[in-house]
Structure 1
Amino acid sequence: MLKKAKSLFTVMVISTFIHAQGVYDNSGGYLIVPSGGYLITQNFTIGSSGSFTAGGNISVSGDWTNNKGSTQTLSGGLVTFNGSSTQQITGNNRTDFNNLTVASGAAVEVPASKHVNVNGILTMTGSFTLLSSATYSTASLIDAGSNSGNLTVHRHLTGGKRLHFVSSPVHNGAFTSIYDNTNGNYNVYWYDETNTSTDPNIGWTRILSGTLTDGLGYTAVYDNWTTRIFTGTLNTSSDIGVTITNTSSGNSSADGWNLVGNPYPSAVSCSTFVADNSLIDGTLYFWDSDTSGGGGYSNADYASWNGSGSAASGGGQQVAPNGVLAIGQAFFVKKSGAGSGTLYFKNSQRMHTTDAQFFTPELIDFQRIKLSVTNDFNLSNEIIIAFRKEATDEHDRLYDGIKLKGNPNLAFYSIWDEKEYVINSLPEIDATTNKVIPLGLDAGLEINHQIKLLGFENIDPSVKIYLEDRQEKKFIDLAELRSYEFIPAKGTNINRFFIHINPDLTGIAENHADFQVYSSGKTIYLVNPKNLAGNFMVTDMMGKILCKGDLHINYFNLNVARGYYLIHIQTNGNFITKKIFIQ
């Protein structure tokens, strides 16, 4: 009887079987189970230096372990798990099975953070379970052929009255998979976008029983840390379509928000998901809850991801999403344009990940500024202003993300084309670029705040970037002074803070003390902090008048050819003339 081998050998099994009592370990050896061959064993281990080829059938009554230095792919045959006690599929690396069967009466578990692929037929007559833990991510399964039977998926979630956005990783998950009347007895909600309220918080709709809709997201709250258990068939036989809507309420910022969720027992690539769904804006929004339980000043808010990067919220983990939809993760998307359409989760979007959190930092290869606002109550918000060759000065679906405000006491955003952005992507910049980007701040507390530069990435040192505080008449070089303290007015603060790319500070200093003028692209900005009465006139370099106006406007567009022009300002008997460049 072949029990174990520790030295180099080759075993050929042709139209017969080998019965290995105890542990089969082919460390340093080479095993071939060709088509027509049959191997019966208890524990089966592919050793760190072993080699294994299978086209025949293998019957395992113990654990399956792949400890070699790479994925083990079985190109043919069937592996049947038929033990009388709990078995595991584990090891240092993944096994890609051809056909896999969990026999009736058998119970197979995949430990947290471990991955399994089944490229052929998956038959789950017995119990097949993906485990989860607080330290490691939920185990992951990707199947590529037909499947039958039920899969059980564990999803570990934190307690402390944190609000989670969750979804079922199996077909028609039970309501009780996320509702627990012994762990706080909190209500479960889904989000009805078709409500016509101008307040986006009005759409939450309670669910009391039944099953969870595939691809839909729900809320869940627990007093204590918990492992939620989902059991059902797989959602991988075909694409999962979810109807999403954009219903007009008279407030476009409240329209088009749909809560959807990963329907698979594996992670999903955010970039592939967005590329497959052109009917949504390209930004995904994740709720990052705190543990205040409604007491004090909550720092919970939305973290955001799109192709230009990710911005952390001020609450919970305070880390940025990593471009991966974890198992059981729900999130908000915004449908582009009015009406309804179908959003799709597809098998091709699936991937494995070992990340235990929903969010981790990412690497980038384009220009980017990352800013945050924090205050003395530890509330914070992040924004990204990216500069990339694929972006335009218009709204770019894949790279621009509208601000979704979740915290009533703090919201930080950039403003472009009258839209508020958490991620704002514009064309690449260099030392010749002249651009002004307004910032907005909603403050619920009139206390000390700080604007901080978190990232200054892939931008040439010759590019000068300044923060302007128009109220205090200050320009701050963000490359030198990476934070700026101020006290905002309670409410919405716009027309106070601006990001300047290569500002003409010499020209600004030469202006009248109570008036400033600068240009960005084809837009001319007039800074009139004392609301002085007067008028302006724009001419070309030959003196031809192009437009006129009074000084009560903040900015205007000048649709002329690229070049230098003159703006003449008259106020209180003073005359200012400034040369400006229009791109």
Structure 2
Amino acid sequence: MKKLYLSSLMYFILQFFLSLYTGAAHSAASPVESSLTNLKSVCFKKSENAPQEEIHRVWLNLTNTDGIFKQILIGYIKGATNGWDPKYDGYTLDAYKFADFYSINEGRKLVIQGRALPLEMSDTIPLGYRSAITGDLTISIDRADGDLAARDIYLLDKQAGTIHNLRDGGYTFSTTIGVFTDRFEIRYTEDQKLGTHESTIVPQKLTVASKNKVISLRSDAEPLKEVSVFDITGKLLYSSQEIGKSDLEITGIQSGMQILLVKTTFENGNTSTKKVLF
């Protein structure tokens, strides 16, 4: 079986970022496709004489029940900035056939991202992923240290308009095949506004109602362009595109009584997400 070994560049990046540790990096005994997805498998021997520097880290996993596994690292450490840091940041290799998972900074897709100290609770980090499958994926905390070991870590799902505390467990969502760079965001407070950038969300005269397992939408302003319905976990239950009219009735959703999220995109590009009791 072919094995992937740490390049000197990757070792250099990891050595600086994980500066609490010294010693040689062991080669990662994983297939080529893993492309260092399991960052825990890269071992460093901790020096008893190393100074106790301030460092706060969280490892996040992207998995599914069929064995997909990708892992990223976000950490706050002395010397890093919130921009591109060649000493602390590492690009994803995107060598795994079935999926990729990364944080995003200045358009760069990073498997390791260093952030500036101090750790600010207002900080947010966009996440992106690539999927070669249609089905369910889960984002979860693998482990954390420093102040992040005890902090709540929230995952914002912009598509579903929901926010989930990863301390309560992993977040499972439905995906199609493709690359998605604007759906998820890590944050450390729950009370920040949900959704995409405020400049793209303008109030519309939209009525959304549910009765007898039929969801009805009516827009008194812009015609409807796209409508998607999600459950509170972010699972896509319904999607319709190129609607081009002001009214829509949605039938055929198989679900018990629960809160559903109806995301509407209008012809002018504005969006609205409303909750209905189904």
The normalised TM-score by structure 2 is 0.59
For residues 3 and 196 of structure 2, what CA distance do their matches in structure 1 show? Answer: 48
Q: Indicate whether 1:410 and 2:144 are aligned.
A: no
One-letter code of the match for 1:468?
L
Q: CA 1:444/1:478 → structure 2, altered by over 3 Å: closer, same or farther?
A: same
Q: Indicate whether 1:450 and 2:176 are aligned.
A: no
Q: CA 1:260/1:463 → structure 2, altered by over 3 Å: closer, same or farther?
A: closer
Q: CA 1:420/1:364 → structure 2, altered by over 3 Å: closer, same or farther?
A: farther
Q: Indicate whether 1:394 and 2:83 are aligned.
A: yes
Q: Rg bigger for which structure?
A: 1
Q: Indicate whether 1:530 and 2:219 are aligned.
A: no
Does structure 1 retain, via aligned residues, the 8 Å contact 2:33–2:97? no
For residues 112 and 96 of structure 2, what CA distance do their matches in structure 1 show? Answer: 17
One-letter code of the match for 1:372?
N
Structure 2's unaligned 5+ residue stretches are 17-24, 46-51, 203-262, 273-278
Does structure 2 retain, via aligned residues, the 8 Å contact 1:375–1:449? yes
Structure 1's unaligned 5+ residue stretches are 1-161, 167-216, 218-258, 262-269, 276-283, 291-298, 304-310, 314-318, 325-362, 510-514, 519-524, 535-550, 553-570, 573-583
- Encode CA deviations 1:161-204: one digit per residue, 9 max, x unaligned: x10357xxxxxxxxxxxxxxxxxxxxxxxxxxxxxxxxxxxxxx
- Encode CA deviations 1:398-454: one digit per residue, 9 max, x unaligned: 211111111121111011100000001111354x53122111111111122111111
For residues 288 and 472 of structure 1, what CA distance do their matches in structure 2 show? Answer: 38
Root-mean-square deviation (Å): 3.9
Instruction: Looking at secondary structure, tell me which structure has more helix per residue.
Output: 2
Does structure 2 retain, via aligned residues, the 8 Å contact 1:391–1:399? yes
Query: C-alpha displacement at 1:460, in angstroms?
Result: 5.9
- Encode CA deviations 1:276-311: one digit per residue, 9 max, x unaligned: xxxxxxxx9966434xxxxxxxx93111xxxxxxx6
Alignment of 1:512-551 (within 5 A): 517=197, 526=200, 530-532=264-266
Query: C-alpha displacement at 1:502, in angstroms?
Result: 2.5
Alignment of 1:286-365 (within 5 A): 288-290=29-31, 300-303=33-36, 312=38, 319-323=40-44
Alignment of 1:56-455 (within 5 A): 162-165=1-4, 270=11, 288-290=29-31, 300-303=33-36, 312=38, 319-323=40-44, 366-430=55-119, 433-455=121-143
Does structure 2 retain, via aligned residues, the 8 Å contact 1:271–1:323? no
Does structure 2 retain, via aligned residues, the 8 Å contact 1:410–1:444? yes
For residues 266 and 121 of structure 2, what CA distance do their matches in structure 1 show? Answer: 30
One-letter code of the match for 1:164?
K
Q: Secondary structure at the match of 2:43?
A: coil
One-letter code of the match for 2:182?
N
The answer to which structure, 1 or 2, has the higher relative contact order (CA under 8 A, 6+ apart) is 2
For residues 174 and 26 of structure 2, what CA distance do their matches in structure 1 show? Answer: 29
For residues 461 and 302 of structure 1, what CA distance do their matches in structure 2 show? Answer: 26
Q: CA 1:163/1:389 → structure 2, altered by over 3 Å: closer, same or farther?
A: same
Query: C-alpha displacement at 1:463, in angstroms?
Result: 5.1
Q: Indicate whether 1:467 and 2:149 are aligned.
A: no
- Number of residue pairs aligned between Structure 1 and Structure 2: 198
For residues 374 and 423 of structure 1, what CA distance do their matches in structure 2 show? Answer: 18
For residues 477 and 516 of structure 1, what CA distance do their matches in structure 2 show? Answer: 19
- The aligned counterpart of 2:250 is none
Q: 1:493 aligns with which of 180, 189, 206?
A: 180
